[in-house]
Structure formats: C-alpha cells, structure tokens
Structure 1
Amino acid sequence: MEKFKRKVFYLGGFDPRGVRFYHQMYREQALVHERHSGEHLIVSGRRSGPASSALWTVENEAAGVVTDYEFLRWEDLIGKVWIRNPALLVWRSIATYLAHARFMQFGRMLKLRRGPVITILYPPILGVLIPLILALVAGLALGLVLPTWAAALIGLGIGIAASGKPLAKLVVPWLLRFMYFNHRLAAGGPGMELDARINDFADRIAAQLDEPYDEILLLTHSNGTILGMTLMRRILERRGGRVPDSFTLVTLGQVVPVVALRKDARWYHDDLRALADKHFRLVDISSPPDGAAYFDVHPFRLVSGASRPHVELLSPRFHLFYTPENYHSGWANKYQAHFDYLRVGDRLSPIDFIGLTASRRTIDQSIAQFRTIP
C-alpha cells in the first residue's frame, strides 16, 4: 500500500509549557487512539527544526500513513510576558479592562456568543469578590478578640493570601494574563520579536507547500487562532495569493473576536480583510460549551461583508464522544474543556486531533464521516 504523506504545522495558544508538554500530550493521546482503533501509532522523539520549531514523526503502519509534525514554537516569547508578580498582574489587569471598556465592541460580542463575554468579565469580578469575601469572614472572626481596625487590616491580608488557590482553580490568573497579552496585541500589534517569529513561520510553511505531501494542515488552537490569521496572510503574500488544494487552515477553539472586535486593532482588521479577499480553505472546530471559544463565528465577516475563502464551521459535539463522568463540564472544568480539541475521547471522533493528524482520511473525508453521526 502506497504511503499517505501528511504535513502538520501546529501553532498553539498562550501557554508557557511549550513543546515538551505538547509532545508528551500527543504521545498520550496517540495511545488512547490506539486502544480504541487497534492501529499502532509510532510517535518519534522530538528534534529541533528550522524557524523556531520542533519536529516529530507519526507513523500509522496499519493505515499506511506517515505524518511529519512541526510544532511552531513561541513559548519563549510567552515566558517573557508571563506576569508572575501578583501585584503587577493586578495593575496591568486594570489597564487591560479600562482599554476593553473603551475599545471592545461588547454589544457585537454578545450577539455572537454570550459565554466568551462571561469568560472575559468574570476574572476581574472574582478577583475582587473572592478576596473580599474571605477578608470579611476573617475580619469578623478576628473582631471578636481584636480592635475593629486591626481585625479589618489583618482580615484583608488573610483574604488576599487565602484567595490564591480558589482563584487558580477558576483559572482567573491565567485568564488575566491572556487578556493582558491580547490587549497589548490589539493595541500595538505583535511587537518586534513576535512579528519576526511569525515571518519565520510564514517562510517555512510557504516553502513546504511545494513538497510532495498528500495533505498539509496548519492547525491553530486558542490564542494561536488569532495569530494564525496574521500568519495565513503572510503565507499567501509569499505564495502570490495562492496555496495548493491540499492545504487547509484549521482553527480549534477559535478566539479571533478577542482582538478582531477591538476598535483599535486596525492592523488586525487589515489582516482579516486581506484574507477575506483570497481563495483558501478554513475549517473551524469550536465547541458551544467552551466558554472561551466562539462557536459558529465566521472570522472574516467580523470585518468584511464578503468572503472568498471556503469556510466550514463545525461543533466537535464532544458530548457524543465522552462518557458523562469524563465529559468536561461546569465552571471548574472550563480550562480543561478548552483542551479537549487536542484529546481523544472515550469514543473515536472522525475529527478528533489524532484522527485529523494520523489517520488515512483527508480532512474532507473526516468531516464527511463526522456528518453521518446522528
């Protein structure tokens, strides 16, 4: 049987854990896929690649598939802007939300999806309420033995110190960092280092499109879906506005409106308008229960009435592929639910991450099979 050769480029989200974490995650999910399918997947060790990337190979011998997987790295740049000092995080969050109040089109965002608006707004609210509630409880208890002023001050200190774990469980610090990063991105563009990195990625992908692959996928996840639009524009510029039919841009857990609906993100609006005028394939897979993702949102119509790309918007319908006890639902699991796009459930989905990257099906065949599931 002739080998099916696939090239995968993966651009991840705002996550400092980087390639080691995601390579290990891929190996773990490949084992889950193997248990369900009976197809043995060989995931190689990772090695350094060009253009700040890491490479590994996935072999599906039973299906006759070889996938060259290229992880586009930017976790080093994330580490430089990852705010570790809680006081500094609070200060910069204030600046972020003042800018959101001035520039974010919350009315349009609410019409698109209500969940992501809640996700944007609940971190600062809980970041104030939880320490105050804990401070009140502590202050009232201490007020039985201390003067009121002393009980209030000590209670406030206890409330702030004790709020760390509950806030972390609700992913408040991570979301505040995410929002600050995208506030700066919207207002000022990628910045010198990230801009150069995106150019490196574009050069690499544009060159690889001429290689003899049966399928080429640019998979973007979370914050990577925002940067993926800028990257896609630059790929098309290097290719004279055309990409081969074997190429598809895939967005997983799309968050493009986080920047696209900022009125001051004019540079990003230009990127989206430029893409709206080009022919290429985009498949978005975003889950309605994912509080961070914008399910059923056409990214180019955020800025343009017309759109020439072939855009397909899908829900992964995770509830069909997980048992109830393993399905990520509820506020405490919102962060984990945002990573289900990269996992294999308790039942194989034709469009789960390993299926898209290691099966013999093309993405068109995977989607067609997915649509047959009642």
Structure 2
Amino acid sequence: MEKFKRKVFYLGGFDPRGVRFYHQMYRDQAARFAQLSGEPVAVSGRRAGPAGSVVSTHWSIDNPQAGVETDYEFLRWEDLVGKVWIRNPLKLGLRSIATYIGHARFMQFGRMKKLRPGPVLTICYPPVLAIVIPLLFALLPALLLWIVLPLWAAALAGVGISALLSGRWLNKLVVPWLLRFTYYHHSLAAGGPGPDLDARLDRFAERIVGEMDEPWDEILFVTHSAGTILGMSVMRRVFERRAGPLPDRFAMVGMGQVVPVVALRTDARWYHADLASLADKAFHYIDLSFPPDGAAYFNVNPLLLCADAHAARVDMLSPRFHLFYDPENYHGGWSNKYEAHFDYLRVGDRLSPLDFISLTAGRRSLDQALAAFRTIP
C-alpha cells in the first residue's frame, strides 16, 4: 500500500521553552494516541531543518498501521521570545504599567467585548491581581501581628509573608505569564515585528513555499496561541512568494486563536495591512478555539477583522474538549486556564478526529477529520 505522506509546519506561541519541550510533549501524546487507537506511532529524534536549526527543527512520525508518514517541522522563534522574556518582577511591573497605558489608548475594548467578552477579562485581571494578592498577603498578617507587635515590626513581617506566599498564588493564576504575553504584544502592535522577527517570518514563509510543489498528499500549517497572530503575517509572505495559487492539499489551522490581541489595536497598522492583504486570497483556514479557553477567540473569524469579506474557505469549530476528557482529567477552572490553553496539543481520554496527534499522524486527511468530527452529536 502506498503511504499517505503529510507535511506539517508548526508555529507555536509566546513560550521560551522551545523545541525540546514540544518534541517531548509530542512524543508523550503520540504514545497516548497509540494506546487509545491501537496504532503504534514512532516519533524520531530531532534534526536541523534545511534552512538551519535557528529557523526550524524536524522530526519524522511513522504510523505504519495507518499507512501514514509525516514530516514535522517546528518553526522556531523561542530564541527571540527568550530575549524579551522579563524575569525580574519589578521590571515586569514597570513594563506592565506602560503596557496598560498603551492598551487604554489604542485597544478597541468595546469591539473586543462584542466579539468575545472572556479575553477582555483575561487581559484585564492580571494587573489587578498583581496588586491585590501581594497587598492582601501583606495587610492581613500585619493587622493580626499588630496586636502583639509594634506597627513597624508587624508591617515588616507582613511584607515578608507576602514575599513568600504571593508569588506562588500569582503563578497559580498565571499572572506573570499573562503580563509578559500582554507586554510583548503591546510592543509588537506598536512597533511591528522588528528586524529579527521580520527576517524569521520571511524564512518561515520561504520554507512553506519551498515544500508546496513537493509530493506531499497533505500540507498543514498549524499555528497555536500567539503563533496564530504571526501565522497571518507568514501567510501574507507566502502569497507574496508563491507565483501561482496554493495547492488544494494545503491548509492553515489556527488553535486557540488570539489574533484580535494585535488586530484590535488601532496603532497596529502594519498588522492591519497583513490581514487586509489576505481578504482576496484563496486558501483553506480552520479555526479550532474552545469557548471555555479564556485566552482564545472562539467563533471570531480573523480574516474579517480588517475586511468585510474574504475569499478563503473558512471552518470555525470548537474542539469540544469536554466530550473527550473524563471529568477528573478535564482542565477546567481558573487555576487550570494555562493548561487548558495547551489541550489543543494533547490527546484526551478518548480520541477526537481533531486532536493534535490525529490531525498530524492519523489516517484521516484534514477534510475527512472535519467530516468525522461534524458527525459527533
């Protein structure tokens, strides 16, 4: 039997952990997929991509029972994330002040709320909690200790207790990560990609275009989280570099889409131009965003944020994670918001036609997977 050959380009989010973390995560989820499906899936080690290891890293996926081979190319920008990843809490606090001043001036919060109210809360609660939680952890112990200690000693003790405990609670509620994410995208909206990221996006587009005429049965450009923002800029570059129409076997998949974070900034004119340029372009775009994911814009078509119509074939779907997880394993609740945002890359307790491993290593083509998913009541 002739094998089905798939090419996957993966562009991830604002995360400094990079390729080693995501390769191991893929291996772990492939093993879970194999256990549930009865289809052994072999995931190779990592190797540098044709454009060099700074641009991308490859691994191969073999599902012999399904007759599928996948070449997986992880598009790398974690080194650029690492350069702007703020570790000093004081510096992060100061940068966050500038961030929210910028958002107050330029973010279309009214329009954002009409599109999807959840992400408005996700953007706005981190600075509030970053102030309230340390203050409570300092104030309550200080007031209690003031009964037996002088005011200055009680105040110092309260500050010490807050320093010990507040960081743990802020991390549990994903406040530092969200502040970093928000600061970065404020800077991106206001100043554009900058020379380093701009050059990297060019290389990503060149890699995708370079594979379009190769003998693949399917080519998927999969973006996740903040990668969905950059993915639209990559697509603009793909169309600039591609002489003819994109092949029918190519599709772009957005998971946990957050494009409005930049697109709804009135000062992000460079990004508005990228989105507007895609309005008359024919390609297949699939958006998988889950309503309970507070960061994602479920049922918000990014191609309509800067245009009144589009030529693309667009499928807007919820991955409906709750159907594929047992209740005790489902990532629900405020303390699991960060983990829920990564469920797009996981396999649940039952297989979905649209889970990440099924899409990238499974026997169904993308259109077959979409059709199968739509039959699920």
Alignment match of 2:192 (pick from 170, 174, 189): 189
Alignment match of 1:284 (pick from 287, 292, 302): 287
- TM (normalized to structure 1)? 0.98
Q: Distance in 1 between matches of 2:363 and 2:4?
A: 7
Q: Distance in 1 between matches of 2:243 and 2:181?
A: 34
> Which residue does the alignment assign to 2:344?
341
> Which residue does the alignment assign to 1:91?
94
Q: Does 1:120 align with 2:123?
A: yes
Displacement after TM superposition at 1:146 (Å): 3.2
Displacement after TM superposition at 1:145 (Å): 3.2
Displacement after TM superposition at 1:158 (Å): 3.2
Alignment match of 2:204 (pick from 170, 177, 201): 201
> Which residue does the alignment assign to 1:158?
161
Alignment match of 2:249 (pick from 228, 246, 249): 246
Would the aligned equivalents of 1:93 and 1:180 in 2 still touch at CA under 8 Å?
A: yes
What SS does the corresponding residue of 1:79 show, helix, strand or coil? helix
What SS does the corresponding residue of 1:59 show, helix, strand or coil? strand
Would the aligned equivalents of 1:241 and 1:278 in 2 still touch at CA under 8 Å?
A: no
> Which residue does the alignment assign to 1:313?
316
- TM (normalized to structure 2)? 0.97
Displacement after TM superposition at 1:208 (Å): 0.8
Q: Distance in 1 between matches of 2:346 and 2:212?
A: 27
Matches within 5 A, 1:220-299: 220-240=223-243, 242-299=245-302
State the Cα deviation string for residues 94-147 of structure 1 (Å, max 9, x = none).
100110011111111111111111110111010000011111112112312333
Q: Distance in 1 between matches of 2:59 and 2:190?
A: 36
> Which residue does the alignment assign to 2:109?
106
Q: Distance in 2 between matches of 1:250 and 1:240?
A: 22
What SS does the corresponding residue of 2:148 show, helix, strand or coil? coil
Displacement after TM superposition at 1:204 (Å): 1.1
What SS does the corresponding residue of 1:283 show, helix, strand or coil? strand
Deviation >4 Å, runs of 4+: none
> Which residue does the alignment assign to 2:37?
37
Q: Distance in 2 between matches of 1:93 and 1:370?
A: 41
State the Cα deviation string for residues 152-194 of structure 1 (Å, max 9, x = none).
3542343244210000011100000000110000001111111
Q: Distance in 2 between matches of 1:324 and 1:157?
A: 39
State the Cα deviation string for residues 4-52 of structure 1 (Å, max 9, x = none).
0000000000011100010001111011111111001010111111331
Amino acid in the other structure paired with 2:31 = L
Amino acid in the other structure paired with 2:44 = S
State the Cα deviation string for residues 202-260 of structure 1 (Å, max 9, x = none).
11111111101000000000000000000010011000362111100000000000000
Amino acid in the other structure paired with 2:315 = E
CA RMSD, Structure 1 to Structure 2 (Å): 1.1
Amino acid in the other structure paired with 2:367 = D
Amino acid in the other structure paired with 1:137 = L
Q: Distance in 1 between matches of 2:237 and 2:366?
A: 23
Displacement after TM superposition at 1:360 (Å): 2.1
Amino acid in the other structure paired with 2:340 = A
Relative to 1, partners in 2 of residues 1:241 and 1:140: Cα closer, same or farther, differing over 3 Å? farther
> Which residue does the alignment assign to 1:76?
79
Unaligned residue ranges in structure 2 (runs of 5+): none
> Which residue does the alignment assign to 1:47?
47
Q: Does 1:18 align with 2:21?
A: no
Alignment match of 1:136 (pick from 136, 139, 147): 139
Alignment match of 2:151 (pick from 148, 152, 159): 148
Q: Distance in 2 between matches of 1:331 and 1:240?
A: 47
Alignment match of 1:325 (pick from 328, 331, 337): 328
Amino acid in the other structure paired with 2:24 = Q
Q: Distance in 2 between matches of 1:73 and 1:113?
A: 30
Would the aligned equivalents of 1:226 and 1:255 in 2 still touch at CA under 8 Å?
A: yes
Relative to 1, partners in 2 of residues 1:258 and 1:241: Cα closer, same or farther, differing over 3 Å? farther
Would the aligned equivalents of 1:186 and 1:262 in 2 still touch at CA under 8 Å?
A: yes
Q: Distance in 2 between matches of 1:192 and 1:85?
A: 25
Q: Distance in 2 between matches of 1:19 and 1:199?
A: 20
What SS does the corresponding residue of 2:339 show, helix, strand or coil? helix
